Amino acid sequence: MTTVLITYCIAWGAIGAYTAWFTIGDLRLRQRKASFESTPASRSSIARQVTTAA
Amino acid sequence: MGYVQRILYVHVSVAWCGLASCLAMGFCAAMYLGSRRLPWDHWAQAAAEVGWLCTTLTLVTGSVWAHEAWGTWWTWDPRLTSSLVLWIIYAGIVLVRGSIEDPHARARIGGVIALIGTCDVPLVIMATRWFRGVHPVAPEMDTRMQLVLLASVLIYTALFAHLLRHRQIQLRLSEQVAQLEADEWQACAGRWG
């Protein structure tokens, strides 16, 4: 009984971890895309990096 | 076997999903190599990741079952060995893809390895028939057990298909963000450079 429970926990834990990993990645990507679309290019993080470097 | 036979429901389901993912990956890789369109590569990459997860779970659940049924965690049975080879192929594809920056080079190299890896699928399926081993070929089952197994296979297939679709959407989004970033770098470089 314990062996079966542990096996199912490992299986669902792995599936849950993979889902959580790419859900977090998805949220970050969506935020990044939204920031590109909402911020004028001149005030973006890339523009700041270029200004600092110059 | 008692309670331990319940491992079978998850083991068979994830094994089926691992093999199906490999076939899907091979098909998408072939489509990319034929058309050079990146969306096909996104599907192939998503299938490689989902397939790696499924094959890992197949090996883990199978190992636990083997320990209870055969008294050993691992034996070099043809089915087990060919499944391990499949896992190594998946791991190799995921690692190689992670180490290449250029999307088309990544897709091309990943696609070729995926096509080679697909050749292992018939070997995994037919291993119990072609070679003598300890892995059961098609065990006798009660009708109720067959129904539960069928339901389990369908549910896991739907779950992994859902994960596959979502991961493919995320990879497409990642490509769009990379493109936006590249465009912005170019615009900034033009303005200040």
Is the pLDDT at A12 greater than 60? The verdict is: yes
Residue at A28: amino acid letter: R
**B5 — pLDDT class (breaks 50, 70, 90):** confident
pTM equals 0.87
Is the pLDDT at B26 greater than 70? The verdict is: yes
* Average pLDDT value for residue range A34-48: 67
Is the pLDDT at A54 greater than 60? The verdict is: no
Per-residue model confidence as pLDDT tens digits over B74-128:
999 999 999 999 999 999 999 999 999 889 999 999 999 999 999 999 999 998 8
CB B70 within 8 A of CB B134: yes
Is the pLDDT at A49 greater than 80? The verdict is: no
SS3 A36: helix
Q: What is the pLDDT of residue A23?
A: 87
* Average pLDDT value for residue range B157-185: 89
Four-residue CA torsion sign, B5, B21, B112, A21: negative
CB B77 within 8 A of CB B38: no
Q: What is the pLDDT of residue B176?
A: 86
* Average pLDDT value for residue range B4-17: 92
Q: What share of chain B is helix, strand, coil (3-state, %, to 5)?
A: 85, 0, 15
Q: What is the pLDDT of residue B91?
A: 95
The CA–CA distances, whole Å, from B189 to A37, A52, B101, B142 equal 19, 13, 21, 70
Is the pLDDT at A42 greater than 60? The verdict is: no
Rounded Cα distance, B22 and B16, in Å: 10
Q: What is the pLDDT of residue B135?
A: 84
Q: Mean pLDDT in chain B?
A: 91
**Residue B141 contacts A where some CB pair is shorter than 8 Å:** no
Name every chain B residue with its beta carbon within 8 A of the beta carbon of A11. 10, 14, 57, 60-61
Tell me which chain B residue has its CA closest to the CA of residue A33: B177
**B64 — pLDDT class (breaks 50, 70, 90):** very high
Q: Which of B57, B65, B189 sits opposite A14 (nearest CB)?
A: B57
Is the pLDDT at B193 greater than 70? The verdict is: no
* Average pLDDT value for residue range B50-72: 93
- Reported ipTM: 0.79
Name every chain B residue with its beta carbon within 8 A of the beta carbon of A3. 3-4, 7, 64, 68
Tell me which chain B residue has its CA closest to the CA of residue A13: B57
